[in-house]
A and B are shown apart, each in its own frame.
Chain A
Amino acid sequence: MIKRIGASLIIDRKVLVNSYNFVHHLPVGKLVHTVSRLQELGVDEILILNKSHSANPASDFQELFKEFDNFKLSTPIAYGGGIESHLDANSVIRAGADRVVISLKTLLNPQAFFKINEFLGEQAVILHLPIDMTDTSVHVFGYEPYSLQQIASQIPIDWGGEILISSVKQDGAKSPNLQLFNKCVVQLGTKHKYIYTSGFSTPNDILNALDNYWVNSVAIGNFLHRSELSIRKIKQEISPEIEVR
């Protein structure tokens, strides 16, 4: 399989936003226009993370996608936001997503995690681990008490899903912290497959990330919205080094 160049889109109160450090959000517009443009540009997949989800993720999804009726959506969509059970996950898939993104909260509920994987198939599951750093620790944002090793012990060694790693400090920045990501991966396990996101905008950074055999995909965030032909330019510039679609 070739490596993937994807998009990471953050939703806050039904608006697609530029995200900065997971806290500040600036409005971009409606999801349908950005998704349609990304599809035109040949994006490999689109990850949609809904920060202001309700208790009914399928209905949130349907609300976001109700303007897609006239649009021929043919790009893989992964959706996350409040998916905590296999019923949530299945209803989101039936509503139009192709994969689901779950949080650490769901991983720490082994029954729910197991059921989601069993119901959908592991390949349809992405575990999102937003990484935060203090002077004393590297941890998942909002889950300081848990070390990465503890988290790693919850993930089956032969798990076929993917882990989405993002960085609070690099969210909205113009460069990623690859050192941090690679350190986290060593603790989580290099046998798993990863999607890196946060701060990616230059071909060099993307190539350096994809150079690691455990990285299947890089998901680009804010940069998508602020540059014409973002995905196409990136693919054009990295294509001499790696195979891209």
Chain B
Amino acid sequence: MISVTKNSRQCTRCLYNSLHPFGLTFDLNGVCSGCRVHDEKDYLDWNERFLLLKNLTKNYKLKNSRNYDCIVPVTGGQDSFFTVHTVVNKLGLNPLLVNFNRNFNSAEGIKNLAMLRTKFSVDFRQFSINPIIARRIVKTTLANLGTVNWLWIAGQTSFPVRVASELGVPLIIWGAHQGIEQVGMYSYLDEVEMTSRYRREHDLMGVDEKTIFQFDPDFNQKDITALSYPDDDLILNCGIKGIYLNNYIRWDSVAQHEFVSKEYGYIGRKSSRTYYKYDNPDCPVYGEFQDFLKWLKLGYGKVTDHVVRDIRHKRISKSIAVKQVKKFENKLPKDVDKFANWLGIPSSNLLLAILRNSTNFANQISEDSWKERFISKSKYSLKPNIFNKSLIDQDFINFGKGI
């Protein structure tokens, strides 16, 4: 649970507070901006808004052309199925699906990605980054930013834009804008588009591929080519525009997942750290170890995001939400050994280093208690500078069923 401190403010409706990394504002009734913008879902005319979307996209629909009408970034989870369903079946567009290989693909994620292609009969392009560089970047961001997800977000948010500029397909269609859905960054009426500023600040925590060098001076430009975001001149000349469907469709991920599961066979995957299994079935690290890191760093995990979503959609009460959070958020993540093995660090050292460096964790539980609960002093020891150790000479090891 995000602890309320004297410097933070809690929403009177949901469980978010002002320490949310995206920022949060509150109205006079103490209701947060996320809840307030969510209210728009119940009073905007979504039929009218969908017509806006149709008018916008029809300008990009190419008749008698061998090129694609748009680019749709996809993963084996999240809102990919609903997005592709909307693009193909409701808007009648011919998309190219693009995917940045997350490397830790679960069986469910691989199957979902395959089904996207077969169920919708579309073309698909995937990019896999150099696995040695991948491991090095993940270690760097883990040590310096407290996340193992940075690399995949950097790739997922740049690869589609590179493809768009390369192929001359200017329109990129995303599912939901996370800033709106979580903290109400914009009104749906604003029709916010994809911006590199949002990518740098919120997706990549203020550090993009040009500034990641500060953490490891041995990185060189070539290492980061896979993550490069097209420059402004290219974006301007190609007329690239990224839109979000949640500005035009009343967005409800849970209802959408139910629909695509029934209609297309979309598969979820159980997580040890939340009750909801349909958001990120494609990546066992994101829902487990990465979520554990998030909880240690920020004081809340994915289960809080899920209960907030359910509170806003009136599926659960606040008291049930609190119970769910308490039940799940401090669960140890699964598959840490596999991930640590891929990273080239003993899992005990990995956990120990993170636990000891996490002040938030120290706030959650007393020093003695966590030592007793998680680490036996005689069994494990912390090696200094574990993140500086290079394992580039080790053979690349697949984790899960990754490609």
A–B touch (CB < 8 A): the answer is: yes
Residues of A within 8 A of B (CB): 12-13, 15-18, 20, 24-30, 33-34, 37, 40-41, 172, 222, 225-229, 232-233, 236
Tell me the bound Cα distance from A226 to B241 in angstroms. 11
3 closest A-B pairs by beta carbon, nearest first, are A27-B23, A33-B201, A226-B192
Q: How far is the CB of A222 from chain B (nearest CB, A)?
A: 7
Tell me the bound Cα distance from A18 to B36 in angstroms. 14
B235 at interface by CB-CB < 8 Å? yes
Q: Determine chain A's interface SS by DSSP, over half rule.
A: mixed
Taking each of A25, A27, A172, A227, which has the highest tally of chain B beta carbons within 10 Å of its own beta carbon?
Answer: A27
- The answer on a CB contact under 8 Å between A26 and B232 is no
Tell me the bound Cα distance from A222 to B240 in angstroms. 20
> Which of B93-101, B181-189, B282-290, B367-375 makes up part of the contact surface?
B181-189
- Number of interface residues, chain B, beta carbon within 8 A: 33
For B202, the closest partner residue in chain A by CB is A29
The answer to whether residues A228 and B37 also contact, given A27-B183, A29-B23 and a CB cut-off of 8 A, is no
- The answer on a CB contact under 8 Å between B187 and A26 is yes
Give 15 pairs: A residue, B residue, CB < 8 Å, sorted on A.
Answer: A18-B190, A24-B36, A26-B37, A26-B184, A26-B187, A29-B22, A29-B201, A33-B206, A40-B232, A225-B192, A226-B186, A228-B241, A229-B236, A232-B232, A233-B236
Tell me the bound Cα distance from A17 to B32 in angstroms. 13
- As a 0/1 sequence over residues 165 to 209 of chain B, the CB contacts with chain A under 8 angstroms (1 = contact) are 000000000000000000111110011111111101110001000
- The answer on a CB contact under 8 Å between B197 and A226 is no
Residues of B within 8 A of A (CB): 18, 22-25, 27, 33, 36-37, 183-187, 190-198, 200-202, 206, 232, 235-236, 240-242
Tell me the bound Cα distance from A12 to B23 in angstroms. 11
Tell me the bound Cα distance from A34 to B195 in angstroms. 11
CB neighbours of B191 from chain A (8 A)? 226
CB neighbours of B190 from chain A (8 A)? 18, 222, 226
CB neighbours of A33 from chain B (8 A)? 197, 200-201, 206
For B194, the closest partner residue in chain A by CB is A228
Tell me the bound Cα distance from A13 to B185 in angstroms. 15
Tell me the bound Cα distance from A177 to B319 in angstroms. 47
The answer to whether residues A37 and B25 also contact, given A26-B37, A232-B236 and a CB cut-off of 8 A, is no
CB neighbours of B235 from chain A (8 A)? 228-229
CB neighbours of B25 from chain A (8 A)? 12-13, 15, 17, 25-27
- The answer on a CB contact under 8 Å between B197 and A37 is yes
Q: How far is the CB of B14 from chain A (nearest CB, A)?
A: 15
CB neighbours of B193 from chain A (8 A)? 226-228
Tell me the bound Cα distance from A229 to B23 in angstroms. 23
6 further A-B pairs in the complex, CB-CB below 8 A; given A33-B201, A225-B195: A25-B33, A27-B183, A33-B200, A226-B190, A226-B191, A228-B235
Tell me the bound Cα distance from A172 to B24 in angstroms. 18
- The answer on a CB contact under 8 Å between A24 and B22 is no
Tell me the bound Cα distance from A228 to B37 in angstroms. 22
Taking each of B27, B201, B242, which has the highest tally of chain A beta carbons within 10 Å of its own beta carbon?
Answer: B201
CB neighbours of B192 from chain A (8 A)? 225-227
For A14, the closest partner residue in chain B by CB is B23
- The answer on a CB contact under 8 Å between A27 and B200 is no
Tell me the bound Cα distance from A228 to B200 in angstroms. 13
